[in-house]
Copies of this chain bind each other. A is one copy, B any other.
Amino acid sequence: SHGNKEYAYLLCVGMHGESGADAKCPPQNNTAINFFCNYEESRGNFLVDVDGNRMLDVYTQIASIPIGYNHPALLKVVSDPNNASAFVNRPALGILPPESFVDKLTEGLLTVAPKGLNRVQNMACGSCSNENAYKAMFIWYRNKERGTSIPSDADLSSCMINQLSILSFSGAFHGRTMGCLATTHSKPIHKLDVPSFDWPIAPFPRLQYPLDEHVRENAQEEARCLEETEDLIVKWRHKGMPVAGVVIEPIQAEGGDNHASAAFFISLRKIASKHGCAFHVDEVQTGGGATGRFWAHEHWGAEDPADIVSFSKKLLTGGFFYRDEMETDKPYRIFNTWMGDPSKNLLLAEVLNVIRQENLLAEVTRTGKALLGGLYELQAKYPNLLSRARGQGTFCAIDVCKASVRDKLILQARDNGVILGGCGDLSIRFRPALIFKEHHVHMFLNVFSDLLAAH
């Protein structure tokens, strides 16, 4: 029943500026709050709100719930008295790790190490993962230039001059702390008023979908972007701000679910290598299985896909995998107090077990086919409303004719028991958990096609 939704939904809406007017509103900018949830009652693919409404969740806390709400395997991890210590004694992992730390890494994160990346630096969220990946690339680049890891006195006193840069792409999203934000270009309001760096921004290909029906035009567009990228790398070197690393998402997520071909990424990686730049694939949103492979970059079929792969969200913790050559030369250069959280590693190891035991990557591929097929049908039926259906696995999106119509459809879907999220200017993105099955696809399609028919 969706009878009494108003209480939850309207709780903080319009309250901004009337501070303290409702004790239920947190004393902070609360204007992004959609509604309040009952996580205790939520199960699997279904999120329950404070009024008891049970909704199919196709957004999963911004793509960050891997195997659904209250998965029994995860509840067991928490209730196991042997694990209590990990939850109450958060160590400074970089200096005093628990005895089990390496075993947990070996059973957990290292089982999903991307090809060629034998090392992993644990962090706590997407932002510190990317910030520290950038730092690792800066350090690697300068050590390579120096030919030695011993900095000169001039090096130590000259942080301001001869700075390095990171090349990113239009429409990219890599986080909102200040280093990440310098490479984020999804919405101007995210960057407004915050100082940034003069770093190069290359064009991300604007492709036509379905990709396999527009191969020639798309290849041209990708060639243009690659050429411009290479020009920018050369230009910034001449400016005295060489590009230490190129960072890119395998699918631009916040920026509107923009895809590119495997050939594009492989060529880009070659251009980066040719110019001595590290190649960093940001899999914070794409990693963890939603594309049908554990890492989206596996779809490229590349022998040598990346120098650095960062992750967070569905992996519950954060961090980045990297090549042996990119190891830092000294302690405390990549460091902070907590360096991640062993309790999240425990939960992650269990998530990875469930993915393997339930064969969830194959399931995602199957479910994704049904989802994308359904979206193709709907856009064929409503060509004035919908276009550009696209996706890999269940990591799908579709465009709506106008932003206002998109926003209205998302609200209406919610009022009919389906939680969706937007991205970019016109897109609806689909970010279900890995346990989303074909019958959940049909539940969503039924609600969505009714809304479209009524439009």
Contact = CB atoms under 8 A, between A and B. Distances in A.
Interface of A: 16, 19, 23-29, 31-40, 42, 47, 50, 61-62, 64-65, 69-71, 74-75, 77-79, 81-82, 84-92, 94-99, 101-102, 105-106, 110, 118-122, 124-128, 131-132, 134-135, 138-139, 141-143, 151, 155-157, 159-160, 163-165, 175-180, 182, 187-198, 312-313, 316, 324, 327-328, 330-338, 343, 347
Contacts of A91: 37, 39, 61
A128 to B, nearest CB: 6
B89 A70 contact: yes
Given A33-B97, A34-B95, A118-B19, A78 B84 contact: yes
Contacts of A94: 32-33
A88 B78 contact: yes
A139 B175 CA distance: 18
A333 B159 contact: no
A86 B78 CA distance: 10
B163 A337 contact: no
Contacts of A198: 160
16 contacts: A26-B97, A26-B120, A29-B334, A34-B96, A61-B90, A65-B90, A70-B85, A79-B79, A87-B347, A125-B336, A127-B128, A127-B131, A127-B177, A138-B194, A155-B193, A160-B198
Contacts of A34: 95-96
A434 to B, nearest CB: 15
A90 B188 contact: no
Given A89-B42, A92-B62, A347-B88, A102 B25 contact: yes
A33 B332 CA distance: 10
A205 B182 CA distance: 33
Given A102-B26, A138-B194, A333-B192, A125 B128 contact: yes
Contacts of A334: 29
Contact of A337 (B29, B64, B155, B192): B64
Contacts of A192: 139, 142, 151, 155-156, 159, 333
B128 A128 contact: yes
A99 B195 contact: no
A198 to B, nearest CB: 6
Contact of A195 (B32, B119, B164): B164
Contact of A38 (B24, B82, B99): B99
A225 to B, nearest CB: 21
Given A19-B118, A164-B195, A331-B29, A96 B37 contact: yes
Contacts of A128: 125, 127-128, 177
